[in-house]
Amino acid sequence: MNGALAANLADLAETLRRSTVKVREGRHGIGSGVIWDSNGLIVTNSHVVQNRTVSVETSDGRQFPAKVKARNPQRDLAALEVKATDLPQTTKGHSERLRVGELVFALGNPMGLTGAVATGVIHALGPVEGLEHQTWIQADVRLAPGNSGGPLADARGRVIGVNSMIARGLGLAVPVDSIERFLRGEKEQPELGVTIEPVAVPASGRNILGLLVAEVVPGSAAQRAGLRRGDVLVSSGRRFFEQPLDLLTAIRNSPPPSRRLELELLRGGKQQSVEVTLES
């Protein structure tokens, strides 16, 4: 590594340290957090702040009592508020533009250390088995207790996620786009309101994937659109499903604010289309 590159990486790490805080819960629990806004908004993990007594310590040693402004345990996110101004807020990136293999940096306060840095690359982007159908940034960075709630940044120092946990040897981070939706009070994704089972559907001399509607949730977007138990969903926007997660992708990609989704289905052996206005 040449001297200029090493100096640039050291400067990047120092900038990230200034926008990373210690989050203390009671006397002993220590996690990390990210200064999201200079006027006192801190983002961390929900599991870091399960009690009411929370304080925040900035990189220059200042300490502030913090108020838990919002929590989403399912997404493991929490927003804290401290009475402070002109804090060194983070620079945000865009998680939808990430690519596997990109260099990333994880900042936090693990094992009693302050502002520790770990490096790695993005291993995968997407859901993780056993953690519902939420998107995670999966990176081979070394995380430890105390890293939770700290930033995951790209090679330009832009925060692309908040570190949450380790699964199958990889660090999992909540993507920055999901964090922005959380802060706006939006759900992680719109909801269709069906339970599906994959089935084989004969079409043009071959089998294609169909998603059998086994249950329709009362009051859901699916019920309002007239979907019924026994319908077989075969495509969205005239693109056939190749795997069950394709339906989830179509739901996520439905354009706001209307969140309308066009589905093609088989009912009684006949193909028809239905437009669903999703819950947001």
Would residue 76 show up in a list of annotated catalytic residues for this protein?
Answer: yes
**H or E element in which residue 153 lies:** strand 151-154
**Please, which pLDDT band fits residue 128 given cuts at 50, 70 and 90?**
confident
- Determine which one of 19, 46, 59, 76 is catalytic: 76
Q: What is the CATH number of the domain that holds 37?
A: 2.40.10.10
- Determine which one of 19, 148, 220, 236 is catalytic: 148
Cα Rg, the chain, nearest whole Å? 22
- Determine which one of 19, 32, 46, 47 is catalytic: 47
CB 151 within 8 A of CB 107: yes
pLDDT (tens digit, 9 = 90+) per residue, 204-245?
778 889 999 988 888 888 999 999 999 999 999 888 998 877
* DSSP at 43: E
189 located within any domain: no
201 and 253 share one domain: yes
108 located within any domain: yes
pLDDT (tens digit, 9 = 90+) per residue, 9-36?
888 889 999 999 999 987 666 899 999 9
pLDDT at 275: 94
Last residue of a domain, which of 183, 209, 234?
183
102 and 179 share one domain: yes
101 and 179 share one domain: yes
pLDDT (tens digit, 9 = 90+) per residue, 43-75?
999 999 987 779 999 999 999 999 999 988 878
Would residue 47 show up in a list of annotated catalytic residues for this protein?
Answer: yes
Would residue 60 show up in a list of annotated catalytic residues for this protein?
Answer: no
The parent domain of residue 130 ranges over 95-183
CB 90 within 8 A of CB 36: yes
**CA gap 130, 192 in Å, rounded:** 20
Average pLDDT for 171-191: 86
pLDDT at 112: 73
CB 35 within 8 A of CB 90: yes
Nearest to 116 by CA among 76, 96, 144: 144
